[in-house]
Chains A and B, each alone.
Chain A
Amino acid sequence: MRKRISALGLIGVAALVLAGCAPAADETAEEATTSASATAEAVDPVTLTMWSWRTEDVEKYNTIFDVYEAANPGVTVEFEAFLNTEYNQLLATGLEGSDGPDLAMVRAYGGVQALIEAGQLLPIDGLVDTSSVEQSLLAAATGRTDGSLYGVPFATQTLQMFYNKGIFDELGVTEPTTWDEFIALNEAIDAGGYTPMALGAKDSWMLPIFHEIVGAARYGGPEFRDELLAGTSDFTDADYVASIQIVNDMTEYMVDDVIGVAYADSQIQFTAGTAAQFPGGSFELGNFTTQAPDMELGVYLVPTPPNSVSDKPLAAGWADGSFAINAKGENQEAALNLLNWLATEEFGQLFVDEVKQFSAIKGLTYTDPVMKEMNELFASGPTAYINLVDMRYGDPSGSTLIGEGIQSMFLGDMNATGVSTKLQDGVATWFTPGA
């Protein structure tokens, strides 16, 4: 019997092993910064390691860094990628010890604060020229408590409506330019035997994305965000509530029981051609083109709903991550040189051409027609995905609260006012406006 009990204890403890992974750190980054002087003249060969979660892009980054290595003799950049889901723990542990990378991809906004507050990243104010970077995105790599910059954002995502041009042509419908046209379009698709919009409402993270796509213009995007952050308005604002109501009204144009549809199922709905439109992020592009290479893809911004605060359609966007320097790294001078290059148009263009994602650098050329259009759409009405950009600095996060709230609304257990109250009350536990 005793044997059995200890075996039980063994299983019971498994969860704790997970928690035990993060080692404690008591030293700060100060010593490390001074040790950077140990780096000798630029002629000495130096190998810089960079960690990443983009296992699918290793070859592409190697190609990009070949360009840098050619221009900077003696410098070798080693790009190492780790499993996305394990990356945060690996990086936190790696930066703690002596075998960490010189540079690393770090998560954006709330996702990087733990590393910053633990003193694991090098502040780069004044050390890196970020003038080519889209300034609004620098918040992704800024310390929330000290306001210092800790990284150079590399990729951005934007939200818009994707549609299947083949189905549009078959039904004789076109991109809508007014809200009435948008409603008429959905009615026409429905009458034509297709599902107007594919949405994976079972996966709550998808719902705030959908809310931004159909409702950002209604609540007013950037203006509302300014008021929210200043404390002159909050999520219970009537316009914000109305934008959540729009989400509920749209269920008419989805399959019955949309609450049971998983995100992956909704992608299949669209790529298999049973749904004509997919409200989603630019990160869908890769999946759509591999799963349905023959589908002709179109994108548009949902027109402004009636009584909208914004006078033009809005595209919500955010930075996906940044490049940052290990505060304990031994080659900080060389790392800073590389980071400066990562903030240039030269790198941005290489990134766009090789990795085929949206760069955080301004003024680049996109050759892919869909990417080009998405980039133009974003430029025409940029706004921030507030619940990700500003509301992930504490627990519960804004996107979790509104996602769960919208699920309750779809189930009929909550109305739009309830969702916004839940969101406001939840973030108010850690979010202080004006701070």
Chain B
Amino acid sequence: MKTENKPRQHGKMPILIGVSFVIPALMLFSVFILYPLTTALSYSFFSWKGTLRGDFTGLANYVTVFTKAPFDEALPNAFSHNLLLFAGAMVFQNSIGLALAVVLHKIGRVKRLFQTLFTLPYLVSPLVVGYLWSLMLSPLFGPVNATLRQIGLGEFAQPWLGDPTTAIWAIVFITAWQWIGFPMLLYGAALGGIPEEISEAAEIDGASGQKKFRLVTFPLLLPALGTVSILTFIGAMESFPIPYAVGGSTGSPAGATDVMALLFYRTAFESGDVGSIGTSSALAMLLFLFIFGVAVALRTSLARAERKLYD
């Protein structure tokens, strides 16, 4: 009898307590996330005159953002820049972050100091970082071009933020400069979590240097890699402060640094079109669905890959 009752009581209590614990968070989530999310979704299905809601128009706003000017050109342009920011961050920011983490893990001694130094920019507002770098890269007063000229590399001096071919890469660089400490910390923590014994066992088995990293360390870093990739993806898709500081709301020069969030911002807050609540809500919905869908898909496939690896 007793043995039967105990687990039942054990199961009952947490449900009640659990629910009461969840309620405050659920309320906050509903008010600040669920409500705006569903209202934005509903806004996107209506026509608008200022803040006055008009008729239900179904998918008309979505058709507009895919087919009508300026969206038909701006949307693919901005979206491709978001993808480029993601690719750039994966290639530069995350690989260098991993390399830094491995090096710092090895040297041990001044690890803390360097960890702090590399993480420092990430504590500054990205808007400030963006303005700082646009000063650094200014063709008039910027120290970057001045230094290049002084060391005899004057031909490399460029209007970095004025040339469409360099401007978007400047944003990739500035973002990487600010966020490099983030993958470094995550990888560093993952490296620290790998038991010494595994490493020693691999050495005894004859694996050393590269081979040990490739076959032992790296696979054990996979969960961290997944997390970093997904967070990088979200960061790149929602990138706003740095592009805004560097190229303004229009993504200067000539749309070369335009991203989805800037397009949304322009549509929602700077448009002369009285129906902009509808179109900007549609844009926000599309962006959300894309980020959410890809993030979930990435997470699922990474979890599967991890399982395969450890089985």
* Cβ 8 A contact of A19, one of B43, B164, B230: B43
Asked whether, in the complex, the Cβ of B159 is within 8 Å of the Cβ of A257, the reply is yes
**A429 and chain B: residue at smallest CB distance:** B69
- Point out which of B52, B134, B281 has the most chain A C-beta atoms below 10 A from its C-beta: B52
B248 close to A203 (CB less than 8 A): yes
- Asked whether any CB of chain B lies closer than 8 Å to the CB of A120, the reply is yes
Interchain CB contact under 8 A, B269 and A117:
no
Known: A19-B281, A22-B51, A396-B69. A260 touches B271 (CB 8 A): no
Complex alpha-carbon distance, A119 and B52, angstroms = 8
B52 and A118 form a contact (CB under 8 A): yes
Q: Which of A88-104 contact B (CB under 8 A)?
A: 88-89, 92-93, 96
Chain B residues whose C-beta falls within 8 Å of the C-beta of A211 in the assembled complex: none
Q: Fill in one digit per residue for B116-127: 1 if any A CB lies within 8 Å of its CB, else 0.
A: 000000000000
Residues of B within 8 A of A5 (CB): 295-296, 299
B50 near A204: Cβ-Cβ < 8 Å: no
A89 to B37, CA, bound (A): 18
Asked if B276 and A114 make an inter-chain contact with CB atoms under 8 angstroms apart, the answer reads: yes
Instruction: Kindly supply a per-residue 1/0 record for chain A positions 171-210, scoring 1 wherever the CB is within 8 Å of any chain B CB and 0 otherwise.
Output: 0000000000000000000000000000001111100000
Which one of B140, B277, B284, B288 has the highest number of Cβ atoms from chain A below 10 Å of its Cβ? B140
Is there an interface contact between A15 and B287, defined as CB atoms closer than 8 Å?
yes
Interface flag for B14 (CB, 8 Å):
no
* B93 on interface, CB distance cutoff 8 Å: no
In the complex, the answer to whether A14 meets B238 with C-beta atoms within 8 Å is yes
Is A10 in contact with chain B by the CB < 8 A criterion?
A: yes
> Which residues of A lie under 8 Å from residue B253 when comparing CB positions?
201-202, 204, 259, 407-408, 410-411
Q: CA separation between A113 and B272, bound complex, in Å?
A: 8
* Contact residues in B for A31 (Cβ distance below 8 Å): none
Task: Report yes or no: A408 in contact with B254, Cβ–Cβ below 8 A.
Answer: yes
Q: Which listed residue, B70, B137, B138, B227, touches A395 by the CB 8 Å rule? A: B70
Chain B residues touching A, range: 35 or more
* Stretch from A45-53, A54-62, A72-80, A261-269 forming part of the interface with B: A261-269
Q: Does A9 belong to the interface (CB within 8 Å)?
A: yes
Contacts of A410 in B (CB 8 A): 253
- Smallest CB–CB gap between A359 and chain B, Å? 25
Chain B residues with Cβ below 8 Å from A89 are 269
Complex formed: what's the CA distance from A19 to B265 in Å? 9
Residues of A contacting B264 in the complex (Cβ-Cβ under 8 angstroms):
15, 18-19
Q: Is B160 an interface residue (CB 8 A)?
A: yes
A127 to chain B, nearest CB (A): 22
| Interface positions of A from 304 to 347, Cβ below 8 Å from B | none
Contacts of B269 in A (CB 8 A): 88-89
Q: In the complex, what residue of chain B is closest to A408 when comparing beta carbons?
A: B254
Kindly identify which residue among B51, B53, B141, B255 contacts A404, using a CB–CB cutoff of 8 Å.
B255
A16-B40 contact in complex given A262-B138, A429-B69, C-beta closer than 8 Å: yes
The contact string, 1 if C-beta is below 8 Å from chain B, for chain A 386-399, is 00000011111100
Contact residue among A19, A113, A204 (Cβ-Cβ distance under 8 Å from B252): A204
Q: Determine which of A20, A116, A257, A393 lies in contact with B272 in the assembled complex, contact meaning CB atoms within 8 Å.
A: A393
How far is B252's CA from A114's CA once the two chains are assembled, in angstroms? 27
* CB of B86, distance to nearest CB on chain A (Å): 14
On chain B, the residues within 8 Å of A273 by CB distance are none
Q: Does B115 count as interface, using CB distance less than 8 angstroms?
A: no
Residue of A nearest to B164 (CB): A411
| Contact A395/B273 with A4-B227, A13-B288 known, Cβ cut-off 8 Å | yes
Q: Which residues of A contact B288 (CB under 8 A)?
A: 12-13, 15-16
Residue B33 interfacial (CB < 8 Å)? yes
Mask, B47-58, CB within 8 Å of A = 1, is 001111100000
A395 to B255, CA, bound (A): 15
Known: A8-B234, A202-B161. A269 touches B140 (CB 8 A): yes
A39 to chain B, nearest CB (A): 26
Q: Is B274 an interface residue (CB 8 A)?
A: yes
Name the residue in B281, B288, B303 with the highest tally of chain A Cβ atoms < 10 Å from its Cβ. B288
Q: Please pick, from A8, A10, A23, A413, the residue contacting B254 in the complex, using a CB distance under 8 A.
A: A413
A41 at the interface (CB under 8 A from B): no
Task: Please state if B250 and A204 are interface contacts (CB–CB under 8 Å).
Answer: yes
B164, B231, B234, B273: the one contacting A394 at CB < 8 Å is B273
B221 to chain A, nearest CB (A): 16
B285 at the interface (CB under 8 A from A): yes
Query: A430–B49 Cα gap in the complex (Å)?
Result: 15
Q: Interface on B for A, CB 8 Å cutoff?
A: 32-33, 35-37, 39-40, 43, 49-53, 68-70, 134, 137-141, 158-164, 227, 230-231, 234, 238, 247-248, 250, 252-255, 261, 264, 267-269, 271-274, 276-277, 279-281, 284-285, 287-288, 291-292, 295-296, 299, 303
- Other 4 A-B pairs with CB < 8 A, given A20-B40, A113-B274: A24-B52, A26-B53, A120-B50, A255-B139
- For the complex of A and B, the 9 pairs showing the least CB-CB separation, nearest first, are A260-B159, A260-B162, A110-B272, A118-B50, A20-B36, A114-B50, A257-B159, A259-B162, A118-B52
Chain A contacts to B: CB under 8 angstroms:
1, 4-5, 8-20, 22-26, 88-89, 92-93, 96, 109-111, 113-120, 201-205, 255-262, 265, 268-269, 392-397, 400, 403-405, 407-408, 410-411, 413, 425-426, 429-430
